[in-house]
Amino acid sequence: MVSTPAPAPGVAPPGTTDQAAALIEFRQVQKTYSNGFQAVTPFDLSVGAGEIVSLVGPSGCGKTTVIRMAAGLSSVSGGELVRRTDQLAYVFQDPTLLAWRNVRSNVELVAKLKGVDKATRAAAATAAIEMVGLGAFEKSLPRQLSGGMKMRVSLARAITSAPELMMMDEPFAALDEFTRENMQNQLLRLWRANGFGAMFITHSISEAVNLGHRIVVMAARPGRIARIIDSPSPPTKDDAPRDKAALADTAELVSSLLAGDK
Ligand SMILES: Nc1ncnc2c1ncn2[C@@H]1O[C@H](COP(=O)(O)OP(=O)(O)OP(=O)(O)O)[C@@H](O)[C@H]1O
């Protein structure tokens, strides 16, 4: 069952698990596909307003299934999924840009399809394009951009629709390590400016730890949560220095959980 009650008043600070302000709550949510395969066993998680929750786990543990249910793209087989916002945006591994539209036109597209008026979406697109550092490429076509630049267009397009909740399914997986780290920084810059909540799926432990206020470590067969870890040094709005040693310890903990040591 998926229900969408009225938006909760107030905005919780990043890292909160305050149920009243949660944008989305999974309550014992399960997924069994029509062939009888149980992809996700009872799953409890909430994502607060302005909170980034990363999901990391082995292939087949149900990460995409979870995010698809959250987005309403896949039905829930059991339990209850409560979503308190319809302001969603998606960013996938494939930036899915329209080849014949230039950067600005691609960035404005989702907001346009959502019916945002021309002046508002143009202003939002200008800000987003600047924020991802593509101001000089507004008129470029996708084929004239690198993989990292295309992903920045995809991020700018998502932000332009002013989402409260971003669903991100391995958005940076196809990028080289250097570009990937750069994109994580871009994403955090956008988050500091726009304050969206996010579910961020990744196979990369360092990415999960760098981005998440909380890190959900999943296990496979059957798909389930192994542990939810509060970041010891989460991203902050004022971009305060992070405790690298504490984050390295968290990465080690995630690694050992994934290896089944803990
Ligand atoms: N439509 C479907 N019908 C039956 N089984 C499915 C379907 N979609 C996914 N599955 C199975 O459900 C399990 C979870 O799949 P899902 O794509 O959610 O995993 P994932 O953790 O996102 O994997 P990956 O990291 O490889 O993308 C897998 O075993 C997959 O084979």
Percentage of the chain lying above the pLDDT 70 cut: 92
Write down the pLDDT at residue 261.
58
The alpha carbon of 62 and the centre of ligand 1 are apart by a number of angstroms equal to 6
What does pLDDT average to over the chain?
A: 89
Average pLDDT over residues 5-25: 52
Per-residue pLDDT band at 92 (split at 50, 70, 90): confident
Around ligand 1, the residues with Cβ closer than 6 Å are: 33, 35, 37, 39, 57, 59-65, 223
* pLDDT number for residue 182: 87
Q: What is the pLDDT of residues 156-215, one digit of tens each?
A: 999 898 899 999 999 888 888 888 898 899 899 989 988 999 999 999 999 999 999 999
In order of 39, 49, 75, 102, 257, the CA distances from 1 in angstroms are 17, 22, 8, 40, 31
pLDDT of residue 1: 53
Euclidean distance between CA atoms 215 and 63, whole angstroms: 13
- C-alpha distances in Å from residue 36, one per residue of 22, 40, 77, 214: 31, 12, 11, 31
**Ordered domains of the chain (ranges, CATH):** 2-87+164-258 (3.40.50.300), 98-162 (no CATH)
Q: Tell me what the mean pLDDT of segment 215-227 comes to.
A: 93
Q: Looking at ligand 1, which residue's alpha carbon is closest to its atom 12? A: 39
Give the Å distance between the CA of 33 and the centre of ligand 1.
9
Where b means 16+ CB within 10 Å and e means fewer, 123-159 reads ebbbebbebbebeebeebbbeebeebbbbbbbbbbbb
pLDDT digits (tens, 9 = 90+) for 231-251: 999 999 999 999 999 999 999
Question: Please, are residues 157 and 104 in contact by the beta-carbon 8 Å criterion?
Answer: no
**E strand residue ranges, the chain:** 2-3, 22-32, 38-48, 52-56, 78-83, 88-92, 165-169, 197-202, 214-219, 224-230
**Sign, Cα dihedral of 220, 221, 222, 226:** negative
Mutate-to-test residue for ligand 1 from 26, 34, 38, 63, highest number of ligand atoms within 8 A of CB: 63
The predicted structure's pLDDT at residue 20? 55
Q: What would the mean pLDDT of 116-140 be, rounded to a whole number?
A: 92
Length of the chain: 262
